[in-house]
Amino acid sequence: MRDPLFKTQMFRFVDVLPTLRSPDEVVEHLSEYLNDTHTPVSTFLQGALRVGRFIPPVSAAIIRKNILAMANIFIAGSDGDSALRNLHKIWKEGARFTVDILGEAVVGEREADEYSARYRSLLDFLSNRTQTWQATTSHACNEPPFINLSIKISALCARIHSADPETSIAAILSRLKPIAIRAKELGAFINLDMEHYGLKELTLEVFKHLATEAGLADYPHLGFVIQAYLRDSYEDTEKMLRWARQCDRQFAIRLVKGAYWDFEKVMAAQRTWEVPVYTSKAETDTNYERIARLILENRKYVYPAFATHNVRTISFAATYARTVGLGPGNYEFQMLFGMATSIRRALINLGYRVREYCPIGELVPGMAYLVRRLLENTSNEGFLRAKFGTNTSVQELLRDPASQRAQEDEHSIRHPERSAADKSRSGGAVSSDPAPLFVNQPPADFTVSSVREKMAQAIQSVSAKLGLKYVNVIAGRSRISDEQMLSINPARPDQVVGSVSKATTKDVVDAVAAARRSFIDWSKTSGEDRCQFIERLRARLKESRYELAAWEVFEVGKTWAEADADVSEAIDFCAFYAQEMRRLNAGRLTQKTAGEVSVESFLPRGVGAVIAPWNFPLAILCGMTVAALVTGNTVVIKPAEQSSVIAARFMNLMQEAGLPEGVANLLFGDGETVGALLVVHPEIDLIAFTGSRQVGTEIWEMAGVTHANQKNLKKVVCEMGGKNAMIIDTDSDLDEAVLGIIQSAFGFQGQKCSALSRLITVGDVHEQLLPRLIEAAAALTIGLPENPGTDIGPVIDRAALEKIQSYIDVGKREHTLAYQGEIPSELTGFFIPPTIFTDVDTASRLAQEEIFGPVLSVLRAKDLDSALKIANDSPFALTGGLYSRSPKHIARVRSEFLVGNLYINRPVTGAIVGRHPFGGFKMSGSGTKAGGRDYLLHFTFPRVVTENTLRRGFAPEGGSQV
């Protein structure tokens, strides 16, 4: 365990073990994991693996036996009955226990019901079976109840919505309240465990609701957890204390350091959110002691439980308690079952109250969950490792964390580079890599109530602006035409979002002419000035982010999170392309030769037509436009008919940012007329198109025709559709896979080019996956997208509804309908419920054609070979995915699954600018990769200038300047 790489691999192996069915699989996985590390594996293990390859059953049995033995150390039993012996031992020793149920993540209502039933029956069981123990125990006064249950709220709700906490709280309470009421009847204690940061506010809210429920308001034996590694934990404790004083409520607080440290750091980094946890152990420990003081000083309201194995922390709490006049009976220490036995015994001997946190659950799967939840965090410089694993001195172990922190601060001031390197080695947040220039726009965090309020207000204010008229913009002036085109809300087809002037042929001619005229100046504007314009646009987009997202909710039926993601992506495109333009602007030196300097620079192509789809109505429109403009082209923008109003708002923002006349012109209208006219116009040099395969290939063809007076060959940047597949391997983590599939297939109603539409299950994983997948799909809420709790909104229009419906009809005729959701009767818009078909073969229409709706086809493959064959059997090559825990399989899929964007062990949608350059090949696109470092090149003509620097035998050193 001292080698971090080896430890990771072993934990990963324990994590996957429960899903491995045959001895061969066990032996194969272990050797794959161990071969993956460069750590010298012990000769014993190597020998065992060699033997294992010849007689797998023997090795597999030995491996399982060892893991079981390990599980027995940390898990009290597989259920109440089998845990009883351990609980009895704990009691005999003079300690108490709290019991926690381990198990798979809850993805459906049935699973949440099952958990709640398990908690209730465990309460009854424990109360019943421990009566004689209780009778013979001498209870100290103030002692909390003997039976103590720890509950995770995520086990009681199929889908927790950050944007709609009220609904989630109601769902959780509907299952939690009966457990708490039963606990009260039995005189038992209920503690709400704390999980990851995203659930923190919700957990505290659930607690407040529970503790003020009729029938429980006077019951003091309820508690929650404060995680001292969270930067806002002290403030949270104060808030909860204020609330306790207000309603004169008593409760318990289990003070822990926190077990999701790595997870929190990674999640925050991925979302470019502030890291919610302290990154140094000393800071966490110092904060723990501050909070310990606070709760001890408020003993009137709080019964403190100090959950720690750290002797310094324990001593601090006990000493401070004495200082404020509290004896050992006024609080307790908690420790994890199977850990720190000697410390626990010492405390009992000293007369302190000690409780063990006892997970129960099936041993081998339980071990996997435990590994995930607890042990992976031992990287967090734990006391136990310092105490028992290394030879740290007593003085060091008992040292005041505040002084250690001060020393760390001083060290980092004196040696900034060294301390960064130290921290990155120890898993700290600071990386020694140079900071990237570009930082993604953080998505809105809807767990924060002020953020939710902003979005709700934006929806309110946009709803008051529906139905307005919008006009074409040519050379900076409005151009009104006789014919109007309506953009309607797909969730309520009778609601007009806006009405736009339909461009005429003359408008097209004028717009291209305006762009051509403006090109003369714009192409000569310095690259830096153009970047600054794009950055001003970015600032406008940022200021209007909630308003723009609200328009998306009404105009294209995006849910809050989906709309916010689209706006964030648009903001990212501005920042990223400005950064990339600065890089291009610097020019490139080609390979060096003495006496000669060659510089490659990039010229704009000319006038571009930007033809955009409706499904990412702002991001794609903005990305293509900005890429063209920043490189010095001028454009005529033709947005999709269905998302005209968002395009009009985008044009406004460009004008506010200082768009010079004619540099970008906006024309509303049908693709077949306005779009097609632009494509064939001889003065168009560049077409940036994103849309369907049919239209994309037509444009590709039309752009290939060269007119007599045409100056340039037309460049087509062409991104089209997909028929994206995801392979689910036999050993995949189904908790994660189910949620990944749901998000990939049904996010924005399956109307993403990256959406999953072919799910390929390997071997018999199908049988375990499908019921859970169906339950998870059934837990999705179909509703109006303006409601924060909606998962599934409408599809874009009647034509889409009918097309998707026709595919569903084909599916019903030719395959097996495994699941179809129900649309609530009050919804009148273009709603299609999530639909899953099984028994789909790879040649069928359902498996070959892009449906662009919430329809998922499941195809079975006997092994990975045939899964890969099915996956690649498509005219498209856009996104693809794999869930697997076999390093060998992951490596194979990496090299053999041919798509533009392959995602492993995560959803296949949600590409992020700069991090995941996006786009496909085959009939999915021309391979231009939006949001990637080479994208801007497609909007330019590269030009090389070579200068001979040798003058009569004299060559200047260092060459010429770029």
User: What residues act catalytically?
Assistant: 719, 753
Tokens standing for residue 198: 């995203």
Task: Tell me which of 366, 604, 925, 932 binds ligand NAD, using CB under 6 A.
Answer: 925
Comparing CA positions, the residue from 435, 408, 403 lying closest to residue 419 is 408
Q: Annotate each residue in 724-763 with x if it binds ligand NAD (CB under 6 A) or - if it does not, as one string.
A: -----------------------------x----------
**Minimum distance from residue 675 beta carbon to ligand NAD (Å):** 2
Report d(CA 930, CA 928) in Å as an integer.
6
Piece of 283-291, 389-397, 446-454, 687-695 that binds ligand NAD (CB under 6 A): 687-695
**Structural contact between residues 120 and 182, judged by C-beta atoms closer than 8 angstroms:** yes
Report d(CA 729, CA 318) in Å as an integer.
51
CA atoms within 13 A on the CB side of 30: 26
Per rule CB under 6 A, is residue 240 in the interface with ligand NAD? no
Tokens standing for residue 220: 């003091």
Report d(CA 175, CA 156) in Å as an integer.
6
Task: Tell me which of 404, 598, 655, 692 binds ligand NAD, using CB under 6 A.
Answer: 692
Report d(CA 910, CA 889) in Å as an integer.
24
**Minimum distance from residue 692 beta carbon to ligand NAD (Å):** 3
The residues in 839-868 that bind ligand NAD, with binding defined as CB under 6 A, are 850, 852
For residue 196, what are the contacts with CB-CB under 8 A and spacing of at least 6? 260, 263, 264, 267
Of 130 and 724, nearer to ligand NAD (C-beta) is 724
Tokens standing for residue 781: 């809420």
**Structural contact between residues 445 and 451, judged by C-beta atoms closer than 8 angstroms:** yes
**Structural contact between residues 563 and 549, judged by C-beta atoms closer than 8 angstroms:** yes
Of 59 and 744, nearer to ligand NAD (C-beta) is 744
CA-CA-CA-CA torsion for 167, 171, 172, 174, nearest 10 degrees? 130
Burial status of residue 128 (CB atoms within 10 A of its CB: 0-12, 13-18, 19 or more) = exposed
Per rule CB under 6 A, is residue 720 in the interface with ligand NAD? yes
**Minimum distance from residue 690 beta carbon to ligand NAD (Å):** 5
**Minimum distance from residue 484 beta carbon to ligand NAD (Å):** 17
**Structural contact between residues 366 and 360, judged by C-beta atoms closer than 8 angstroms:** yes
Per rule CB under 6 A, is residue 640 in the interface with ligand NAD? yes
Tokens standing for residue 829: 């818009």
Of 243 and 700, nearer to ligand NAD (C-beta) is 700
Of 732 and 879, nearer to ligand NAD (C-beta) is 879
Please give the C-alpha separations between residue 476 and each of 42, 633, 638, 708, in angstroms, as whole numbers.
73, 16, 16, 30
233: how many CB neighbours lie within 10 A of its CB?
27
**Minimum distance from residue 868 beta carbon to ligand NAD (Å):** 22
Of 483 and 529, nearer to ligand NAD (C-beta) is 483
**Minimum distance from residue 629 beta carbon to ligand NAD (Å):** 18
User: Residue 14 corresponds to which amino acid?
Assistant: V
Tokens standing for residue 386: 């310092």
Of 647 and 868, nearer to ligand NAD (C-beta) is 647
DSSP 879: E
For residue 499, what are the contacts with CB-CB under 8 A and spacing of at least 6? 467, 468, 469, 470, 484, 485, 486, 487
Task: Tell me which of 26, 190, 695, 856 binds ligand NAD, using CB under 6 A.
Answer: 695
Per rule CB under 6 A, is residue 698 in the interface with ligand NAD? yes
For residue 105, what are the contacts with CB-CB under 8 A and spacing of at least 6? 154, 735, 736, 739
Task: Tell me which of 638, 772, 860, 885 binds ligand NAD, using CB under 6 A.
Answer: 638
Of 383 and 876, nearer to ligand NAD (C-beta) is 876
Per rule CB under 6 A, is residue 641 in the interface with ligand NAD? yes
Helices (H) and strands (E) in the chain, counts: 34, 30
Per rule CB under 6 A, is residue 489 in the interface with ligand NAD? no
**Minimum distance from residue 821 beta carbon to ligand NAD (Å):** 23
Bridge-based pairing of strands 876-877 and 715-719 is: unpaired
Of 29 and 638, nearer to ligand NAD (C-beta) is 638
Q: How many residues bind ligand NAD (CB under 6 A)?
A: 32
Of 357 and 852, nearer to ligand NAD (C-beta) is 852
Piece of 451-459, 531-539, 637-645, 723-731 that binds ligand NAD (CB under 6 A): 637-645
Per rule CB under 6 A, is residue 919 in the interface with ligand NAD? yes
Task: Tell me which of 375, 541, 612, 657 binds ligand NAD, using CB under 6 A.
Answer: 612
Paired strand residues for 610 = 637, 688
The residues in 657-686 that bind ligand NAD, with binding defined as CB under 6 A, are 671-672, 675-676, 679
Report d(CA 732, CA 13) in Å as an integer.
12
Task: Tell me which of 527, 691, 834, 907 binds ligand NAD, using CB under 6 A.
Answer: 691
Of 103 and 675, nearer to ligand NAD (C-beta) is 675
Query: Three-state SS for 643?
Result: helix
Strands in 77-208 per DSSP E: 96-101, 148-151, 189-192
**Minimum distance from residue 798 beta carbon to ligand NAD (Å):** 13
Comparing CA positions, the residue from 370, 172, 404 lying closest to residue 281 is 404
**Minimum distance from residue 512 beta carbon to ligand NAD (Å):** 14
The residues in 866-885 that bind ligand NAD, with binding defined as CB under 6 A, are 878
Per rule CB under 6 A, is residue 721 in the interface with ligand NAD? yes
Comparing CA positions, the residue from 632, 637, 634 lying closest to residue 617 is 637
Task: Tell me which of 56, 80, 617, 722 binds ligand NAD, using CB under 6 A.
Answer: 722
Task: Tell me which of 74, 229, 383, 614 binds ligand NAD, using CB under 6 A.
Answer: 614
DSSP 957: T
Piece of 52-60, 73-81, 317-325, 615-623 that binds ligand NAD (CB under 6 A): 615-623
Comparing CA positions, the residue from 757, 803, 828, 821 lying closest to residue 557 is 828
Query: Three-state SS for 882?
Result: strand
The residues in 572-611 that bind ligand NAD, with binding defined as CB under 6 A, are 611
Comparing CA positions, the residue from 577, 274, 615 lying closest to residue 447 is 274
Helix (H), strand (E), coil (C) string for 150-165? EECHHHHCCCCCCCCH
The residues in 806-825 that bind ligand NAD, with binding defined as CB under 6 A, are none
Per rule CB under 6 A, is residue 197 in the interface with ligand NAD? no
Residue nearest to ligand NAD (CB): 671
Piece of 133-141, 378-386, 499-507, 694-702 that binds ligand NAD (CB under 6 A): 694-702
| Tokens 């009966």 found at | 178
Of 18 and 829, nearer to ligand NAD (C-beta) is 829
**Structural contact between residues 48 and 59, judged by C-beta atoms closer than 8 angstroms:** yes
**Minimum distance from residue 861 beta carbon to ligand NAD (Å):** 25
Report d(CA 661, CA 515) in Å as an integer.
9
The secondary structure element, H or E, covering residue 336 is strand 332-336
**Minimum distance from residue 703 beta carbon to ligand NAD (Å):** 10
DSSP 218: T
Of 690 and 820, nearer to ligand NAD (C-beta) is 690
**Minimum distance from residue 751 beta carbon to ligand NAD (Å):** 7
Piece of 50-58, 349-357, 447-455, 693-701 that binds ligand NAD (CB under 6 A): 693-701
For residue 299, what are the contacts with CB-CB under 8 A and spacing of at least 6? 324, 326, 330, 331
Task: Tell me which of 63, 70, 336, 699 binds ligand NAD, using CB under 6 A.
Answer: 699
**Minimum distance from residue 567 beta carbon to ligand NAD (Å):** 16
Of 741 and 878, nearer to ligand NAD (C-beta) is 878
Interface contacts to ligand NAD, rule CB under 6 A = 611-616, 620, 638, 640-641, 671-672, 675-676, 679, 690-692, 695, 698-699, 719-722, 753, 850, 852, 878, 919, 924-925
